[in-house]
Structure 1
Amino acid sequence: MPTRPLIVRTDDLEFEPCVVRTDFSDEAAWQQILRRLNNDPVRSTDLPAATVVDDPAFDGATVEEVLAAIAADDSPAVFFVADAVTMRGEQPLLAVKVPDDEDDAPDEGDEDDDGFVEPTRDQPFRLLPETVLSVHGNLTLANMDFEDYGPSDDDPTTYVYRGL
């Protein structure tokens, strides 16, 4: 596995979504994705849409390599990957939950009062660029949980979150 540079966000960027580009095959598609990020209706004109990591050192990086590159003391709750799938079609980014200390233990799901164990849905999911700011904001503020956005009964390989 190649070593990727560390992704370090400054205090000024602490609450911004982090989008990491891992596919450099289509510059025109990438520019369109950046425009779509900036067209998020939740976005204020005073705030940048996202911290964007547009470094060719991440070309072909896996989710695990991006996770390893995020500075541990500065890690966001979620980050977004612009991979090969993102560069075509609807251009959905991949949302990836950053494990916290509680996530280090094996997760067997949540047990309700009747002893039924509901499996968690913390697997990555796809979302449209326009929804990044609202998803990130709700996750950062803990208004919603990661699994609230991901596929429920939908096929996770084809599911795309398009907003509320």
Structure 2
Amino acid sequence: MEDESGRLARLRRILERREERAETTASEPWRTRVDGESPTLPMTETVPLIRTDFGDDATWAAVRDAVLAPHPQGGGEYFRAEVEPVEDRRFAGLTAAELVARVPADPDCPEEPAATLLVVADATTMTSAEHHLLLVSVDVADHDTVRRLRATPRAVQQVENNLTTANMGWEEFAEAADDDGVVRLM
């Protein structure tokens, strides 16, 4: 059985190791921390809307157009999802984790990813009745935790606008998802 001074010494060692890890992690570029792969997603000014399923061009066009369409918000205002379509066959079939691993580092802050939100048009998007898209969030503050949820094309605008302006948090949308895990207009 450890005495009080033994427990304190053990706690100090644990804290020192955590601080060392935090210092090392903070100085490493984002792409190295993820998995060492060179990033391949393009740098975008807005949130990337990544196509990973190339089986149906007509469905992709309809989904893309629905996400990009202006949506009335009341009072005569219209909002759009601030997304940029990325249509590159190199991303065909990639999972959320594989896409996150390909997010480039922020050029102004290399220990941060250039994008912390991805919108993905995957096989489920193309085959589901509502064409719900996969939303992937990377929480850098929480040890690069990758979170996923689905949203209908119209709801993407609401989620993206509120997340990127920090008007609402990820948890609020996760809680607002219906029983099937899909966020629809709130």
TM-score under structure 1 normalisation? 0.72
State the shift of 1:72 in Å. Answer: 2.2
String of CA shifts for 1:58-102, please: whole Å, max 9, x gaps: 0011111100111121522311111100002110000111131x2
1:35 corresponds to which letter in structure 2?
D
Distance in 1 between the 2:71 and 2:178 partners? 26
Q: Give the distance between the partners of 1:36 and 1:7, measured in 2 at CA.
A: 23
Question: Taking CA–CA contacts closer than 8 Å with sequence separation of 6 or more, which of the two structures ends up with the larger relative contact order?
Answer: 1
Cα contact 1:23–1:83 (8 A) shared by 2: yes
Q: CA RMSD in A?
A: 3.0
Q: 2:184 & 2:176 partners in 1: Cα distance?
A: 14
TM-score by length of 2: 0.65
Question: Equivalents in 2 of 1:40, 1:72: separation in Å?
Answer: 30
Contact 1:123 1:150 in 2 (8 A): no
Contact 2:71–2:80 under 8 Å retained in 1: no
Question: Matched residue of 1:150: which SS?
Answer: helix
Deviation at 1:35, TM superposition (A): 1.5
Question: Hey, what's the Cα distance between the residues in 2 that align with 1:130 and 1:27?
Answer: 19
Report the equivalent of 1:91. Answer: 131
SS in 2 for 1:51: strand
Q: Mark the CA change 1:42 to 1:58 in structure 2 (over 3 Å): closer, same or farther.
A: farther
SS across alignment from 1:8: coil
Give the aligned residue type for 1:6.
T
Rg larger in 1 or in 2? 2
Q: Match of 1:52, SS?
A: strand
Considering fraction of residues, name the structure with more strand.
Answer: 2
Partner of residue 57 from structure 2, selected from 24, 27, 41: 27
Does 1:17 pair with 2:44? no
Q: Which runs of 5+ in 2 are unaligned?
A: 1-36, 107-112
Instruction: Give 1:48 shift.
Output: 7.8
More helix, by proportion: 2
**Deviation >6 Å, runs of 4+:** 43-48
Q: State the shift of 1:46 in Å.
A: 10
Partners of 2:184 and 2:101 lie apart in 1 by: 28
The question of whether the paired residues in 2 share the 8 Å contact of 1:40 and 1:130 is answered with: no
CA contact (8 A) 1:92 1:128 kept: yes
Cα distance in 2 for residues equivalent to 1:154 and 1:57: 33
